[in-house]
Amino acid sequence: MSVYNDYFGPFGGRYVPEILQPPLKELELAFQEALGDPEFIGEFEEFCRDFIGRPTPLLPAKNASREIGGAQIYIKLEGLANTGAHKINNAAGQALLAKRMGKKRIIAETGAGQHGVATAAACARLNLPCVIYMGEEDIRRQHPNVYWMEMYGAEVRSVTSGSRTLKDAVNEAFRDWTANSADTHYLLGSALGPSPYPDMVREFQSVIGREIKDQADFQIDAMVACVGGGSNAIGFLAPFLDQKSIKMYGVEAGGRGKGPGNNAVRMADTGRPGIIQGYKSLFLHDSDGQVLDTHSISAGLDYPGIGPQLAALGKEGRIEFTEASDREALEALKFFARTEGVIFAMESAHAGAAAIRIAKTMSPDQNLIINMSGRGDKDIFISAAALDGENWRDFLEKESRRKYVD
Ligand SMILES: *Cc1c(COP(=O)(O)O)cnc(C)c1O
């Protein structure tokens, strides 16, 4: 069976310069061949078990469900995966594939640094040298992740072109790949980009949904995931797409509210079709094709584009898109910490916030699953500043004055 789609309705494709066609074709063929090889699947499963710590639990959130008084809520704890989020599933799959293809070097882009951390960890484990492209501005804002990437042995290269953020890092990674594709794999971080990336990332992330198939001994009525580029959502949902009785929700970043620059909502008639960074999808951009600024309290959802398959599933009506604001995400973070003892990543807290709303409209004999794409330790500089401002600032000031002696 081929899982290679290329296009999803009107979206997807491979819009790259001529020189990148051969390496993408090589990757497509290697990916298809690897998926059909039990030895490769075995390697991936072993890596998932021994290094990532899979399967991740499916937690019955009994206290939260009781307090909300609607559907029974279950939480898929991707945050318990090694490195703290679902991103490692894709990094592992692609790094193993690169090794099988005989590539000697990995490159990746990163925005907030989460994909860089996952890639660096997988490469450390597999003994592959890796270079992470990161905008100069993001390096400044995301110091802890840079620290971890370097500890894993990755080289973090500062990108100083354009706005010095994620899109510039992607451009730089493609430039590197154009020059070095013979021995280098470009490990792209979400279910987007030119084909075969959307198919490949979905297949590696689908380990999430496949595990739920084994774990859920109940009828699933609704599934809720946050959507940045779309990799955690598509991996969570793809194995269930043909079960029409399941309602599926994608949650985008409502940010500070309506209006350009205040959010990262692409699916509520705000996104427009475009071809950017190698694929056709819905983007927040102006009539000249200039990408607009976005805002979200969660770095992982603060992105102007959406993966082509999710865009198509949204337009077809198979997945319903909704939003959660910065404020609602913070409230959901507190709610699940207090009721269940789990700290959602700020991204995942958007799914949590929408799930609280949706569960209320359902009955107690129905079941809803939230994908907690990551855990919230990484967000302490944001959540503590927002929820515990004075104390947190006081702590940071004292820390900054502390003398470091050995
Ligand atoms: C990066 C990230 C996301 C958003 O990326 P997707 O590709 O949409 O999944 C969501 N949650 C966490 C924890 C992340 O690190």
For 309-337, write each residue's pLDDT tens digit. Answer: 999 999 999 999 999 999 999 999 999 99
pLDDT band at 273 (very low <50, low <70, confident <90, very high): very high
Q: For 328-397, give the DSSP string.
A: HHHHHHHHHHHHHS--B-HHHHHHHHHHHHHHHTS-TT-EEEEEE-BBGGGGHHHHHHHHSHHHHHHHHH
What ranges make up the beta strands (E) of 55-125?
58-60, 72-77, 105-110
For residues 4 and 94, which has the higher predicted lDDT (pLDDT)? 94
Q: Is 87 a pocket residue for ligand 1 (Cβ < 6 Å)?
A: yes
- Long-range own/partner contacts, residues 162-165 (CB < 8 A, 24 or more apart): 163/135, 163/137, 164/135, 164/136, 164/137, 164/138, 165/111, 165/135, 165/137, 165/138
Does any ligand 1 atom lie closer than 6 A to the CB of residue 190? yes
In this model, does residue 189 exceed pLDDT 90? yes
Secondary structure letter of residue 85 according to DSSP: B
Count H helices and E strands in the chain, helices first: 16, 14
Query: What is the distance in A from the centroid of ligand 1 to the CA of 402?
Result: 34
What would the mean pLDDT of 4-27 be, rounded to a whole number? Answer: 94
Structure confidence at residue 3 as a pLDDT band (50, 70, 90) = low
14 touches ligand 1 (CB under 6 Å):
no
Edge-first strand order for the sheet with 272-276 is 7-8, 11-12, 279-283, 272-276
Whether residue 405 is predicted with pLDDT greater than 80 in this model: the reply is no
pTM over 0.95: yes
Mean pLDDT of the chain: 96
From 301, 319, 346, 382, mutation site for ligand 1 pocket: most ligand atoms within 8 A of C-beta = 301
| CA-based torsion, 254, 256, 257, 261: positive or negative | negative
Are 28 and 300 in contact by the 8 Å Cβ rule? The answer is no
Biggest alpha carbon distance in the chain? 61
Domains of the chain: 20-51+87-201 (3.40.50.1100), 53-84+206-386 (3.40.50.1100)
In three-state secondary structure terms, 166 is helix
Residue among 87, 103, 167, 378 flagged as catalytic: 87
Q: Ligand 1: which of 82, 231, 232, 310 to mutate, judged by most atoms within 8 Å of the beta carbon?
A: 232
Atom of ligand 1 nearest to the CA of 345: 13
Asked which of 68-72, 287-291, 391-395 is least confident by mean pLDDT, the reply is 287-291
Alpha-carbon distance of 33 to 55, in angstroms, equals: 25
**CB count, 10 Å around CB of 25?**
13
In the structure, what pLDDT confidence band is assigned to residue 1 with cuts at 50, 70 and 90? very low
- Per-residue pLDDT at 2: 53
Q: What tokens appear for 338 in the block?
A: 């207090």
